[in-house]
């Protein structure tokens, strides 16, 4: 899949922000401990270097020991209270324990530079390295990175006002601004890369699995991530009516634009009904196929979500598309449920999410049955045909009424009982009476 996205517009898309914040929630505990430990080890390693370069009476080692003690207490507190500190948060908040090691490191070197008689060239070089490293280490966490740079710049300004070393202050602030901009663009590239990985994975696995893969660093063994498992699923098959006729009359650019409007609307409603992404949708031209499932295999929950979505798909989506295009677009729906083997299946180098079971084939046959019935009775809305299990659950919802029992005539489901629903079911029944 070739993702052609404007990197600068990505940050206005809600799904990108959600993926980024999910990444923060998952990875924050590791990075908090990692940053504190790295800061402690670097500071400890610099103490022998102080003795080599500046002798035993150097002014730096004592303050480094103080830094090490603070970070040790910080690590101890994190370890003791990690259950409460690393609870999943709905919103991204500044983490003081992630912010502390880097900002203390910067403040310490600012303190060194503004001491009387300090060896400015060496300390300036050390400070430049400190600023760059501490900023880039925190670049994946924008609030902490902003806070580190801003707190350091404020400290520099205060020390510059209290001393005569304004030129050093100018240098330090310039490096902070440079590192701030550098981190900003590196972070955008990181998020863009993560989103691109998500888009690539979403073509093979359900959205919730694709998000997990996108947020995971390193090589992913897909077979283990979404291993085929027997689950209760609901399959939806939908197909446009008279697509070949439409394609022959309109140019490809028009058809592509129509695809985009239609599927954008469909996936927008899918995400509303299934915010956790527990579905897999595949489309080829005018044919749409969706597998709905639940992570905990909760049949009642998945049926309720599917009932809500297919009602919207049969009414709101249909009305919106036809009101916003100059084409009378019509499609019908087949819906079937059952237990099937769901997961990544197929050739070793070309695996994709699919289901092995009767429900997928039945859904396609029901969509064909709806197509055949449309030729006899031209409903103004999509015709939906469902199996008996779904019928017994759907009638519990007020927005479904007047289902019509039918006996299928299509191949492989002939003489079996199913249930038909369309928004203008009363008009549909009148057409049936006229035909008889």
Task: Please give the pLDDT value at position 217.
Answer: 56
Q: Which of 173, 202, 231 is the last residue of a domain?
A: 202
The answer on 299 and 179 residing in a single domain is no
Q: How far apart are CA 150 and CA 305, in angstroms?
A: 46
Is residue 419 predicted with pLDDT exceeding 80? yes
Question: Between these two residues, 424 and 309, which has the higher pLDDT value?
Answer: 309
Percent of the chain with pLDDT over 90: 8
List the one residue out of 428, 384, 243 whose CA is nearest residue 327. Answer: 243
The answer on 239 and 150 residing in a single domain is no
Q: How many angstroms separate the first and last alpha carbons of the chain?
A: 51
The answer on 422 and 301 residing in a single domain is yes
Name 319's Cβ contacts closer than 8 Å, sequence gap at least 6.
Answer: none
Task: Please give the pLDDT value at position 376.
Answer: 73
Residues across the chain:
436
Q: How far apart are CA 34 and CA 140, in angstroms?
A: 14
The residue assigned the tokens 């035993």 is: 56
Q: How many CB atoms lie within 10 A of CB 182?
A: 14
Task: Please give the pLDDT value at position 83.
Answer: 75
- For 330-340, what is the mean pLDDT? 85
Name 166's Cβ contacts closer than 8 Å, sequence gap at least 6.
Answer: 160
Task: Please give the pLDDT value at position 234.
Answer: 87
Tokens read off for 304: 């309720």
The verdict on residue 191 lying in a domain is yes
The verdict on residue 211 lying in a domain is no
* Maximal CA-CA distance, the chain: 107
DSSP 32: H
Q: How far apart are CA 207 and CA 220, in angstroms?
A: 16
Q: Which of 151, 171, 202 is the last residue of a domain?
A: 202
The answer on 169 and 95 residing in a single domain is yes
pLDDT tens sequence across 273-318: 887 778 888 777 888 888 888 877 778 888 888 888 888 888 888 8
Range of the domain at 341: 220-435
- For 24-31, what is the mean pLDDT? 82
pLDDT tens sequence across 109-150: 888 888 776 656 777 888 888 889 889 888 888 989 999 999
Percent of the chain with pLDDT over 70: 83
Is residue 175 predicted with pLDDT exceeding 60? yes
How many domains does the structure of the chain reveal?
2
The answer on 18 and 160 residing in a single domain is yes
Q: Which of 140, 171, 202 is the last residue of a domain?
A: 202
Question: Between these two residues, 6 and 91, which has the higher pLDDT value?
Answer: 91
Cβ atoms of 231 and 340 closer than 8 Å = yes
Cβ atoms of 304 and 354 closer than 8 Å = no
The residue assigned the tokens 């549909």 is: 428
Is the model's pTM score more than 0.75? no
- CA pseudo-torsion sign 292, 293, 299, 305: negative
Cβ atoms of 172 and 110 closer than 8 Å = yes
Cβ atoms of 358 and 233 closer than 8 Å = no
pLDDT tens sequence across 359-403: 888 888 888 888 888 777 767 888 888 888 888 888 888 777 778
The verdict on residue 268 lying in a domain is yes
The answer on 139 and 103 residing in a single domain is yes
Q: How far apart are CA 383 and CA 56, in angstroms?
A: 87
Cα distances (angstroms) measured from residue 105 to each of 97, 108, 130, 313, 342: 13, 5, 7, 56, 51
Is residue 271 predicted with pLDDT exceeding 60? yes
The verdict on residue 212 lying in a domain is no
The answer on 151 and 256 residing in a single domain is no
List the one residue out of 168, 220, 170, 171 whose CA is nearest residue 194. Answer: 220
Q: How many CB atoms lie within 10 A of CB 170?
A: 12
The verdict on residue 144 lying in a domain is yes
Cβ atoms of 138 and 31 closer than 8 Å = no
pLDDT band with cut points at 50, 70 and 90 for residue 352:
low
> What mean pLDDT is reported for the chain?
79
The answer on 159 and 278 residing in a single domain is no
- For 169-176, what is the mean pLDDT? 90
Bridge partners of 289, per DSSP, are: 237, 282
The answer on 290 and 342 residing in a single domain is yes
- For 262-270, what is the mean pLDDT? 83
The secondary structure of 308-324 as a DSSP string is HHHHHHHTHHHHHHHHS
CATH code, 400: 3.30.70.1230
Tokens read off for 324: 């916003």
Is residue 232 predicted with pLDDT exceeding 60? yes
The answer on 243 and 185 residing in a single domain is no
């Amino acid at each position: 899949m070739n993702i052609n996205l404007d990197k600068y517009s990505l940050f206005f898309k809600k799904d990108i922000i959600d993926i980024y914040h999910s990444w923060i929630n998952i990875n924050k505990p590791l990075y908090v401990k990692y940053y504190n430990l790295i800061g402690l080890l670097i500071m400890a390693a610099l103490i022998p270097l102080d003795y080599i370069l500046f002798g035993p009476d150097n002014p730096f080692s004592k303050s480094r020991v103080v830094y090490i003690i603070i970070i040790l207490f910080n690590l101890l507190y994190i370890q003791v209270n990690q259950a409460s500190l690393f609870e999943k948060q709905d919103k991204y908040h500044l983490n003081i324990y992630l912010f502390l090691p880097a900002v203390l490191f910067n403040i310490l070197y600012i303190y060194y530079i503004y001491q009387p008689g300090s060896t400015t060239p060496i300390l300036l070089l050390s400070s430049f390295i400190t600023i760059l490293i501490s900023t880039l280490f925190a670049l994946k966490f924008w609030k902490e990175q902003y806070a580190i740079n801003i707190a350091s710049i404020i400290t520099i300004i205060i020390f510059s006002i209290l001393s005569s070393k304004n030129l050093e202050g100018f240098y330090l602030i310039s490096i902070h601004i440079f590192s701030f901009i550098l981190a900003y663009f590196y972070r955008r590239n990181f998020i863009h890369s993560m989103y691109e990985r998500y888009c690539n994975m979403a073509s093979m696995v359900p959205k919730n699995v694709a998000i997990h893969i996108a947020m995971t660093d390193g090589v992913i063994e897909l077979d283990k991530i979404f291993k085929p498992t027997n689950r209760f699923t609901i399959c939806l098959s939908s197909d446009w009516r008279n697509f070949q006729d439409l394609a022959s009359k309109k140019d490809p650019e028009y058809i592509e634009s129509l695809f985009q409007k239609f599927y954008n609307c469909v996936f927008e409603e899918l995400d509303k009904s299934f915010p956790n992404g527990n579905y897999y949708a595949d489309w080829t031209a005018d044919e749409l196929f969706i597998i709905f499932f639940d992570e905990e295999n909760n049949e009642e929950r998945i049926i309720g979500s599917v009932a809500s979505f297919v009602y919207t798909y049969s009414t709101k989506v249909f009305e919106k598309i036809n009101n916003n295009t100059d084409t009378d677009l019509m499609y019908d729906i087949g819906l079937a449920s059952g237990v099937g083997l769901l997961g990544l299946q197929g050739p070793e180098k070309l695996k994709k999410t699919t289901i092995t079971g009767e429900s997928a084939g039945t859904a396609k046959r029901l969509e064909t049955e709806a197509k055949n019935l449309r030729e006899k009775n031209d409903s103004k809305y999509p015709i939906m045909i469902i199996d008996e299990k779904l019928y017994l659950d759907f009638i519990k919802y007020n927005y479904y009424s007047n289902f019509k029992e039918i006996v299928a005539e299509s191949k492989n489901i002939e003489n079996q009982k199913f249930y038909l629903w369309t928004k203008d079911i009363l008009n549909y029944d009148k057409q049936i009476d006229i035909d008889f």
